[in-house]
Amino acid sequence: MGNKKLGRGVAVVGAGMSKFGSFPGFTSRDIFVDAYKDLLTTVDKGIDPKDIEAFYLGNYSSDLFEGQAHLAPIIANWIGLSPIPAVRLEGACASSSVAFREGMIAIASGLYDIVLVGGIEKMTDLPISAVTDTLATAADIPYEVNAGFTFPGFYASMATAYMHAYGATPETFMKVGIKNHKHGSLNPKAQFGQKISEIMEIKRASAINKGKPAPTWETELDFLSDNKSNPLIAWPMRLYDCSPVSDGGAALLLVSEELAYQFTDHPIFVIGSGAASDGPLHARSSLTSIPSAKLAADKAYEMAGVSASDVKLAEVHDCFTIAEIIATEDLGFFEEGKGGKAAEEGQTSRTGSKPINTSGGLKSKGHPVGASGAGQVVEVWKQLRGQAGDRQLSGNPDLGLTHNVGGTGQTCIVNIFERR
Amino acid sequence: MSVDLTINSYFNEIKKKKISGTQCKECGRIHLPPRVICDHCKSQNLDIIELAGEGTLQAYSVVYVPNSKMVAAGFGRENPNCVGIVKMSEGPMVSAEIYGFDLSEPEKIKIGTSVKAKFIERGESVILAFEV
């Protein structure tokens, strides 16, 4: 079917997000207002909201999380955008990348020139057991969930397959978490603003305060290997291998290439986009990679005319630490089986050869599932414009990538962004 | 409805302790859970076949925070459940509960271990699980 291109170019000219975290008393509408207002401040030459022609909202399950469906027109109305078309897109944890792609396609088609893309999830109203069950509805209920699986269980199974195939250890995964917490400590919007070492000292002080014996951890790995401070969730995934339950929103302003410079002198262009779908984990040719991610990446690279080695930074879907390692292999940054070692060697840190998840990733920044994909774009947009604050990469990066997975890979979307 | 093989008809066979898959008449591929349309060659021409119930473990986890159905069945942090992906001797892979390993040492569970089907009666349902 050959190499398909967009009908016309699309640029991102504004990108905002709420803080990610746990916000009792705030509904998804309240949180999205925060993200939308932040977006408006980022459009260098301003945007008149009356010029926005359509709204594409990524949201996984406001129905189950908040008892509220039909969220796109409700939010559009709340931010004053009625009566423009407003549609909600669902692709599990990739929902807002699905929304991004649909907004991009709508502009590329010529139908619209100016589109608002959003992502929102309000997860923390439910008790953790109900959150687990709600997330599990993204898997195959009769064939997977009723067979005893949970989401940590799926990714943990990929982890045991990866350990068996390539000799990784639980410490390999812990090092990904340590790195992402270190990155997140530089991101004021991150749910965890702390390094693992800082969390460790807070817990140590708290134990001493309560008159308990002082914990004997000396290193971050000691803390992460302790069943009490870092309990097993699904072997070999422990608490600090899992992204948190989060509330958060993100908002992006997409415009046609022709209009981009009316909004800013520094637009970021979407030069490649790929998407793919798949069946349940057990029906795949590989348990140590995500085939839909490889396909989406191949399509995005082909459309962009670039290769993995051209990518200066990537925000990848680290819902679990093993997922980041697999992502860096599926995207072609490292050979299959070498991603774990690359992470251990620091190649994926801010100062390494291939910086991954400079925002802190889902692990530290937070994972409000329907907002995570749009949140990834916010980070890449800021890094490519030199506006990432304390965590800004050196060397003026000009090419960034986002990789957003729904479920265990039933959906995957990869987008490539360029500063010209 | 013109569909005679459904999600529920598969589980009704499991209740009879039969592992009922399908085999594509065009490309020969065997499907478990059974498919009505071959995802490999897209054929709608499939036979129902019974699988022997033997396989090998391809991936696993020991789950300490189970889903609510497993909690209702008595599992939890003090009594974790083992799940795995099993490759049947006939080719296809399935997700299932796994029994017979010492779960106090999850790191010693060996991928590649041979397992056999075990049917668990739980409430109204019968579950296809595997044991070492």
Contacts of B116 (CB under 8 A, 6+ apart): B53, B54, B55, B130, B131
Q: Tell me the pairing of strands A247-256 and A10-17.
A: antiparallel
Given a cut of 70, the residues of chain B with pLDDT beneath it are: 1-2
- Cβ of A133 within 8 Å of Cβ of B64? The answer is no
From residue B95, give the alpha-carbon distance in Å to each of A141, A157, A183, A208.
11, 10, 35, 45
Structural domain count of chain B = 2
- Asked if A418 and A271 touch (Cβ cutoff 8 Å), the reply is yes
Query: Domain check: are B28 and B72 in the same one?
Result: no
Give B61 to chain A, closest Cα distance, Å: 5
Chain B: residue whose CA lies nearest to A139: B95
Give A346 to chain B, closest Cα distance, Å: 26
For residue B68, being part of any structural domain is answered with yes
Residue A21 DSSP one-character state: B
Query: Domain check: are B108 and B91 in the same one?
Result: yes
Chain A: residue whose CA lies nearest to B111: A164
Query: Domain check: are B60 and B75 in the same one?
Result: yes
Q: Can you tell me the distance from the alpha carbon of A231 to that of A149, in angstroms, rounded to the nearest whole number?
A: 18
Helices and strands counted in chain A (H then E):
15, 11
Q: According to the model, what pLDDT value does residue A3 have?
A: 63
For residue B46, being part of any structural domain is answered with yes
The whole-number average pLDDT for the span A186-211 is: 96
Work out the end-to-end distance of chain B between its first and last CA atoms, rounded to an integer number of angstroms. Answer: 40
Disruptive mutation site among B95, B125, B128 for chain A (greatest number of A CBs within 10 Å): B95
Name the residue with higher pLDDT: A5 or A138.
A138
Q: CB distance from A244 to chain B under 8 Å?
A: no
Q: According to the model, what pLDDT value does residue A4 have?
A: 77
* pLDDT surpasses 70 at A2: no
CATH architecture of the domain covering A10-127+244-419: 3-Layer(aba) Sandwich (3.40)
Q: Can you tell me the distance from the alpha carbon of A91 to that of A412, in angstroms, rounded to the nearest whole number?
A: 9
Active site residue A93: yes
Query: Domain check: are B32 and B60 in the same one?
Result: no
For residue B70, being part of any structural domain is answered with yes
- Share the mean pLDDT of chain B: 96
- Cβ of B65 within 8 Å of Cβ of A161? The answer is no
pLDDT tens-digit series, residues B14-48 = 999 999 999 999 999 999 999 999 999 999 999 99
For residue B2, being part of any structural domain is answered with no
Q: Can you tell me the distance from the alpha carbon of B95 to that of B63, in angstroms, rounded to the nearest whole number?
A: 14
Q: According to the model, what pLDDT value does residue B4 have?
A: 79
Disruptive mutation site among A126, A146, A237 for chain B (greatest number of B CBs within 10 Å): A146
Give B21 to chain A, closest Cα distance, Å: 13
Q: Can you tell me the distance from the alpha carbon of B99 to that of B82, in angstroms, rounded to the nearest whole number?
A: 7
Residue A289 DSSP one-character state: S
pLDDT band at A302 (very low <50, low <70, confident <90, very high): very high
Active site residue A242: no
Disruptive mutation site among A169, A225, A230, A235 for chain B (greatest number of B CBs within 10 Å): A235
Query: Domain check: are B43 and B23 in the same one?
Result: yes
- Backbone φ and ψ of A131, nearest 5°: -65, -45
Query: Domain check: are B60 and B121 in the same one?
Result: yes
Q: How many residues does chain B have?
A: 132
Q: Which two tokens stand for residue B50?
A: 């019974």
The whole-number average pLDDT for the span A249-263 is: 98
Query: Domain check: are B72 and B88 in the same one?
Result: yes
The distance of Cα A241 from the centroid of its chain, to the nearest Å, equals 15
Q: Which residues of B touch A (CB under 8 A)?
A: 7, 11, 33, 39, 58-71, 77, 81, 83-85, 92-97, 106-107, 109, 111-112, 125, 127-129
B97 CB neighbours in chain A (<8 A) are 147-148
Q: According to the model, what pLDDT value does residue B1 have?
A: 62
Nearest Cα neighbor of A178 from A383, A361, A372 is A361
Query: Domain check: are B39 and B87 in the same one?
Result: no
* pLDDT surpasses 80 at A294: yes
Q: Which two tokens stand for residue B99?
A: 């029994």
Q: Can you tell me the distance from the alpha carbon of A259 to that of A77, in angstroms, rounded to the nearest whole number?
A: 25
Residue A379's identity, in one-letter code, is E
Query: Domain check: are B15 and B45 in the same one?
Result: yes
Contacts of A127 (CB under 8 A, 6+ apart): none
For residue B1, being part of any structural domain is answered with no
Residue A242 DSSP one-character state: B
Query: Domain check: are B43 and B67 in the same one?
Result: no
Q: Can you tell me the distance from the alpha carbon of A415 to that of B100, in angstroms, rounded to the nearest whole number?
A: 44
Q: CB distance from A159 to chain B under 8 Å?
A: yes
Q: Can you tell me the distance from the alpha carbon of A387 to that of A395, in angstroms, rounded to the nearest whole number?
A: 13
Q: Can you tell me the distance from the alpha carbon of A80 to that of A157, in angstroms, rounded to the nearest whole number?
A: 45
Q: Which two tokens stand for residue B84?
A: 């795995």
Q: Can you tell me the distance from the alpha carbon of B69 to that of B75, in angstroms, rounded to the nearest whole number?
A: 9
pLDDT tens-digit series, residues A111-148 = 999 999 999 999 999 999 899 999 999 999 999 999 99
Nearest to A153 among B63, B92, B93 (CB): B63
Provide the strand spans (E) within A203-300: 232-234, 237-238, 247-256, 268-277
- Cβ of B67 within 8 Å of Cβ of A145? The answer is yes
Q: DSSP string spanning A173-215?
A: HHHHHHHHHHHHTT-TT-S--S-HHHHHHHHHHHHHHTTPPPP
Nearest to B33 among A143, A149, A232 (CB): A143
Query: Domain check: are B69 and B116 in the same one?
Result: yes
From residue A84, give the alpha-carbon distance in Å to each of A41, A71, A169, A410.
22, 14, 51, 31
* pLDDT surpasses 80 at A352: yes
Q: Can you tell me the distance from the alpha carbon of A265 to that of A51, in angstroms, rounded to the nearest whole number?
A: 19
Residue A365's identity, in one-letter code, is K
- Cβ of A147 within 8 Å of Cβ of B71? The answer is no
Contacts of A227 (CB under 8 A, 6+ apart): none
Contacts of B9 (CB under 8 A, 6+ apart): none
Chain B: residue whose CA lies nearest to A149: B83
Q: Can you tell me the distance from the alpha carbon of A322 to that of A289, in angstroms, rounded to the nearest whole number?
A: 10
Work out the end-to-end distance of chain A between its first and last CA atoms, rounded to an integer number of angstroms. Answer: 29
Q: Exposure of B28 by Cβ count < 10 A (0-12 exposed, 13-18 middle, 19+ buried)?
A: exposed
The whole-number average pLDDT for the span A89-101 is: 98
Q: According to the model, what pLDDT value does residue B2 have?
A: 67
Chain B: residue whose CA lies nearest to A162: B59
Domain range enclosing B11:
7-50
Question: What CATH number is associated with residue B105?
Answer: 2.40.50
ipTM exceeding the 0.90 mark: yes
The whole-number average pLDDT for the span A363-376 is: 98
Contacts of A25 (CB under 8 A, 6+ apart): none
Query: Domain check: are B23 and B79 in the same one?
Result: no
Q: Which two tokens stand for residue B46?
A: 């499939």
